[in-house]
Every structure is written in structure tokens, then in C-alpha cells.
Amino acid sequence: MTPEIKIFADPIQVAREAAVEFVRLAEFAVQERGLCSVALAGGSTPKSLYSLLADDESLRQTIPWNKLHFFWGDERHVAPDDKDSNYRMAYEAMLSKVPVPSSNVHRIRGEEPDAQKAADAYEQELQSFYQLEPERLPRFDLVLLGMGPDGHTASLFPGTTALNETKRLVAATWVEKFKTYRITMTLPVLNNAANVIFLVCGAEKTEVLRTVLKEEGAAQYPAQLVRPFAGRLLWLLDESAAGESR
Ligand code: 6PG
């Protein structure tokens, strides 16, 4: 499917549109399948969305929280109470304020000293949750993603071996620029989602985003490799990231 691109004045408007999409997709998935599986993005941009879903009364009351299952597209190699933890960010902004059963929160065990073991354990959690046959892929109802100024998404960074993973669902990847391991879902999983929504804000991403959104040429950046096989791809941008100053 051709990617959809929607541009908004500022990050708050981006978050509000993302919240509308979230509610619509959650209601649809629960109506169709009795549950909704979401892979949350880390970083800072999605925090406004998570806070909105939890703090806005009309939104919070609409969402069938007990039917939602939350996963993470990636996690830093840190404990869940670490300031850099993607789990902690989502917990503080949203999960601590809404009636999601703890058994529906499937965090990546970033505290595991061996990042590969953390990746293996998360892969098993996905296989168990989706009751996957070998070689089968999980299909998330919604994958939320951000994009860094270098075109990375989740923890799929330029030049890393995780980009070439075609079999594993979850990879542990050394990120030289941060001198640390990350744990990340792989492209086959991201590209098997029913809906992928990128939230991208900020002028520091404009140049890379311009290339990423071009439909031509070989992919230069990891974010360009996210093309759902049979799913919807939606980019929610603020004017700064889109390079538009109205
Ligand atoms: C992470 C995210 C990462 C993030 C981008 C954009 O663990 O940091 O998964 O891929 O989405 O780095 O981050 P910002 O939203 O903070 O710009």
C-alpha cells in the first residue's frame, strides 16, 4: 500500500491525530478479534500520545484497555526503572494510569545482563502470545515507530547487522554510536503489521525524512525499509520535520 502522509502544525497536533488513529484501530481490532496488540515506540516523541490516551477523559473512556496487549518495538539495555527505559517512559506516561492488566504488558527485559538472552526471551514471548508455528511471523494490529535524525527506527540503526535479519523476530544489536546494546524487533515483524504509524517531529529530521519519503532509489536509511507487506503505513509529521513553515 502507498504510504499515507499527514502533516500537522506541531507535535501536540501530531499526538492528537495519533490518538484518534489509536482509538479507531483498537476498537476495530477488539471488535474483529477480541483483542488488540500494540508495539509501542520509545524515545520522546510518542510520550505526548501516551499521555493523551491516559489523561484525556473522553479518549481514556473509549479505549477497551483490558483487551489491549502492549509490547515494545525496542528497548534499551537497561533496567525498567532506568531513566532511558522505553518501558518506564510508557509506564509513567500511560500504563500506570489506565486499567491494563499487568499480564497484558509485555516488556522487554532490558535488565538482563546478556542482551542476546533478552532478545531470545522476547522472541519466545512473541511466539507464545501469537501461538506461532516455526517460521511464522506475529501480526501486530498496530506498530508505533519514531525515526532518529540518522534515519534509524526502533533500534534498527544504519550499518547494523540487525537490518539484514530475515528470520529472527527480535535481535540484540550493538550500537557503536551509543556504545551499548539495544534489543529490537526486526524488519520482518515490523513489516508484517496490519498498521504502522510513524510519529516524526522536529527540524533535525527534515533532510533525512525527505529522502526516506521518496519512493525512488535504493534504501539509504533503516526507516525506508519499513514497508508493511499487507498493511497500512501512515506518517504523522509536524511541519518542522516536513520542512514546511506555514
Ligand atoms: C528509541 C526509539 C527510537 C526513537 C527515535 C526517535 O528507543 O529511542 O525506539 O527509534 O523512535 O530515536 O526518537 P525521538 O522521538 O526522541 O526523536
Tell whether the model's pLDDT for residue 246 goes beyond 70: no
Residue 88's pLDDT band (boundaries 50, 70, 90)? very high
Query: Residue 6: beta bridge partners?
Result: 236
pLDDT tens profile 131-165: 999 899 999 999 999 999 999 999 999 999 999 99
Ligand 1 centre from 42 Cα, in Å?
5
Tell me which residue has its CA closest to atom 2 in ligand 1: 42
> Residues for the chain: how many in total?
246
pTM of the model: 0.98
**Mutational test site, ligand 1, from 14, 44, 226, max ligand atoms within 8 Å of CB:** 44
Topology classification of domain 4-245? Rossmann fold (3.40.50)
Distance CA 19, CA 53 (A): 6
Distance CA 100, CA 119 (A): 24
Q: Which has the closest alpha carbon to 4: 243, 242, 236, 241?
A: 236
Quote the cell numbers at residue 50: 501516551
Distance CA 222, CA 227 (A): 11
pLDDT tens profile 101-126: 999 999 999 999 999 999 999 999 99
Report the 10 Å Cβ neighbour count for 24. 12
Query: Is the CB of residue 151 below 6 angstroms from any atom belonging to ligand 1?
Result: no
Distance CA 129, CA 212 (A): 32
Quote the cell numbers at residue 129: 502470545
Amino acid at position 97, single letter: K
Listed by start position, the domains of the chain span: 4-245
Query: Is the CB of residue 162 below 6 angstroms from any atom belonging to ligand 1?
Result: no
